[in-house]
Amino acid sequence: METLNYRITAEDENKRADVFLSEKSGKTRSYIKNLCDEGFLKINGKISKSNKILKTGDNVGLNIPETKNLDIEPQNIPIKIIYQDDDVAIIDKPQGMTVHAGNGTDGATLVNALLYHLDNLSGINGVIRPGIVHRIDKNTSGLLVVAKNDKAHLSLAKQLEDKTCRRIYLALLEGEVKNDTGHIETKIGRNPKDRTKMAVVENGRTAITDYKVVKRFEGYTLCEFSLKTGRTHQIRVHAKYLGHPVVGDKEYGIKKQRFNLNGQLLHAARLEFVHPGTGKKVSFVSSLPEYFKEILGKLKEKKSDFLLHI
């Protein structure tokens, strides 16, 4: 693992950590920010955030993990491309497909498929995650946008950072949610008891999710979630925090599942952003997968003030 170490002088005081490290290392700010988000940045010996403002005398250390020599091969894996042009492609990802290699997954990912089906992908996230601006979990289905060039990637990443990109999810939750609408704001970070999972923790990063009830069933609630931030497993962690985990979620949900599912009933249903090329707002919608609809069809519906439009 390569480690970058710097001592801050008056010349670099008041700079953001990610800006400073990008200037010093020659690597893109988005790449540096990703490393910081994963906990590889330490300032004065303590794990710090990418937006930390530096002071004279600070000791800044950034660990750059070794990347396996992965030769990401194009693979003829069927994927649903609902829209594409010279700048972006909108993918409707199926449940069970991993977005990119990592954590023991080397092949048969969405990236392998993208390299086969698309001529161009942005290179900002390197060879392992070309074109990937944001991701959704392996067992979450639905929409994500792929950048075909670096200009588009930077535009989309900025919209995500500024919270102007709208991402709407549908999830079936265990139990009957009390309020018709709600706002959840917590800190999310690695679960200290299980580092493979996330949790609501005091020293985590701010995570904001709004929700509203779409349909009520006996013992279950179909909810719409709007992401205001993009933390790992955010909706799943917030659903658990709400006391109503996502149905089928074996990591954050209840142990005794009623239905025999291959993953959580969580679907990225709507995606809205300003097109990097045209400057116009665009919106895309994905219908619920059949297995999701089948479960809803087995439930007894209750009266609701909201209607399902997707």
The pLDDT value given to residue 304: 55
CA 273 to chain centroid, in Å, comes to: 15
Which residue in the block uniquely carries the two structure tokens 């939750």? 173
Is the pLDDT reported for residue 113 higher than 70?
yes
In the DSSP assignment, the letter for residue 229 is S
Question: Hey, how many other C-beta atoms are within 10 angstroms of the C-beta on 18?
Answer: 24
- Among 87, 137, 162, 210, the one annotated catalytic: 137
Mean pLDDT, residues 125-136 taken together: 78
Residue 134's beta-bridge partner residues? none
Is the pLDDT reported for residue 220 higher than 50?
yes
Return d(Cα 234, Cα 208) in angstroms, integer.
Answer: 8
The pLDDT value given to residue 67: 46
List, for residues 265-278, the tens digit of each pLDDT value: 999 999 999 999 99
Across the chain, mean pLDDT equals 89
Is the pLDDT reported for residue 71 higher than 90?
no
pLDDT > 70: what percent of the chain?
91
Mean pLDDT, residues 133-140 taken together: 91
The pLDDT value given to residue 64: 77
List, for residues 254-307, the tens digit of each pLDDT value: 988 999 999 999 999 999 999 999 999 999 999 999 999 999 999 998 865 555
Q: Strand, coil or helix: what is 112?
A: helix
Q: Is 137 a catalytic residue?
A: yes
Q: Give all domains of the chain, ordered by start, each with its CATH number.
A: 2-64 (3.10.290.10), 80-162 (3.30.2350.10), 166-302 (3.30.2350.10)
The pLDDT value given to residue 69: 41
No. of helices (H) and no. of strands (E), the chain: 6, 15
The pLDDT value given to residue 144: 95
The pLDDT value given to residue 213: 97
Residues 6+ apart with CB under 8 A from 207: 184, 185, 186, 187, 188, 229, 231, 234, 237, 238
Q: Residue 132's closest CA among 284, 162, 118, 140? A: 118
Return d(Cα 299, Cα 173) in angstroms, integer.
Answer: 12
Is the pLDDT reported for residue 28 higher than 50?
yes
pLDDT > 90: what percent of the chain?
65
Give the range among 27-31, 146-150, 174-178, 200-204 with minimum mean pLDDT.
27-31
Q: Strand, coil or helix: what is 34?
A: helix
List, for residues 236-255, the tens digit of each pLDDT value: 999 999 999 999 999 999 98
Which residue in the block uniquely carries the two structure tokens 């086969």? 116
Q: Which one has a higher pLDDT value, 67 or 47?
A: 47
Beta strand ranges found along the chain (DSSP E): 2-7, 41-43, 46-47, 59-64, 80-84, 88-93, 141-147, 166-174, 181-191, 194-200, 205-217, 220-227, 266-274, 281-285, 301-302
The pLDDT value given to residue 195: 81
